[in-house]
Amino acid sequence: MTARPLPEFCFFKWPPRVSSGEQAPPAVNVRGNWDWWVPSCSWRTPGVGCLDSLTFLAFHYGWIYETREFCALMFILDGQTVHRSVVFPRWFRFPFMARTDLQIGNIWTAPAFRGQGIATRAVHEVRRRFGDQRTLWYLTHAGNAASRRVAEKNRFDLVGTGVRKPALGLNLLGQFTITKKQDELQ
Ligand SMILES: CC(C)(COP(=O)(O)OP(=O)(O)OC[C@H]1O[C@@H](n2cnc3c(N)ncnc32)[C@H](O)[C@@H]1OP(=O)(O)O)[C@@H](O)C(=O)NCCC(=O)NCCS
The domains of the chain are located at 8-184
How many whole angstroms from 120 Cα to the centroid of ligand 1?
8
For domain 8-184, the CATH class is alpha beta
How many whole angstroms from 22 Cα to the centroid of ligand 1?
22
Radius of gyration of the chain (CA): 17
pTM here is: 0.93
Q: Which of 30, 86, 149 to mutate to test the pocket of ligand 1 (most atoms within 8 A of CB)?
A: 149
Residue pLDDT tens, the chain, 186 long: 566 677 799 999 999 987 666 778 899 999 999 999 999 999 999 999 999 999 999 999 999 999 999 999 999 999 999 999 999 999 999 999 999 999 999 999 999 999 999 999 999 999 999 999 999 999 999 999 999 999 999 999 999 999 998 887 777 778 999 999 888 877
CB-based contacts of 178, cutoff 8 Å, min separation 6 = 11, 96, 159, 160, 161, 162
Distance between CA atoms of 30 and 35, rounded to whole angstroms?
A: 15
The verdict on the CB of residue 114 being under 6 Å from ligand 1 is: yes
The verdict on the CB of residue 107 being under 6 Å from ligand 1 is: yes
CB-based contacts of 39, cutoff 8 Å, min separation 6 = 56, 57, 60, 61, 70, 71
- Whether residue 123 contacts residue 103, with contact meaning beta carbons closer than 8 Å, is answered with no
Number of other CB atoms surrounding residue 36 within 10 Å: 13
